[in-house]
Amino acid sequence: MNLKLQTQNFKSQKGNINFIRLLFAVTGLLAFCHVVGLFIGEYAWQWERLFGLDGESNIPTWFSSLLLASCAFVSFRCYEAAEKRDRWIWFLATAGFLFLSCDEVAMLHETVGSIFKKKFVTSESVLANAPTIWPVAVSPLIALGMLWFGVFIPKAMRNSKEALKLVMMGFALYLFATVGLELLEDFIQGDSLSWAREANTLFEESLEMIGAIMILKGLLIQWKVLMSAETPEVTSRFDDENQRLNPCQA
């Protein structure tokens, strides 16, 4: 039985590694397609519409959304396998990743930014001409999310340093790309700096995807750790569920 379990774990680990490699490959391919679109966009505008990293409701957008949805799914599996005291952390993590996944497509943060600018920013304000306003509008939520993530995620992942390192590095990279590099673009103005804006967009969207993949990889490792821990509480819960779904098996 131990040999069979080890074989299953090896196959599962190998499958996860191949899956992560595939996601990195897709990210690289999308970045390449974006660069190609910069050169052929005026001749084949549909290409740029489909593969532009700064576009909306296109292939890169949906890929990013699926990455975050995958993070939510694995977080929920961690919630199922976690100790009772940690489940609330995994529940909120699942909800957070689901929200980010929806926001990637629905652009909710842009809507909040537009409402904030209309209601609270006057024509004399320094923010009146700022192209990117949403980080200011949701800055309290960003700060709260960073604080919660930095305090409670390490507690929920205390039994796997490798997984925690990947998740924290991925989160930092994702935050740097989505907030930091997007704000940086506001300072890259003028026709002479158009190449710099395009480079910033390429790095911003690519690093956002890479950060999400790193988080997903860390979560997959953590899920495996939780499943292999076989604490009495976890084992009993999964045995009861298995018996409910397969009543004929003794």
What are the extents of the domains in the chain?
Answer: 68-230
Q: Report the predicted TM-score, pTM, of the whole model to 2 decimal places.
A: 0.85
- Residue 228 C-beta-side C-alpha neighbours within 13 Å: 16
% the chain with pLDDT above 90: 60
170 close to 213: Cβ distance less than 8 angstroms: yes
Note the pLDDT tens digit of each residue in 179-224.
999 999 888 877 778 889 899 999 999 999 999 999 999 999 999 9
Note the pLDDT tens digit of each residue in 45-75.
788 889 999 888 899 999 999 999 999 999 9
Q: What is the mean pLDDT of residues 80-107?
A: 96
> Encoding tokens for residue 14?
């190998």
Determine the Cα–Cα distance for residues 27 and 97; give it in Å rounded to an integer: 19
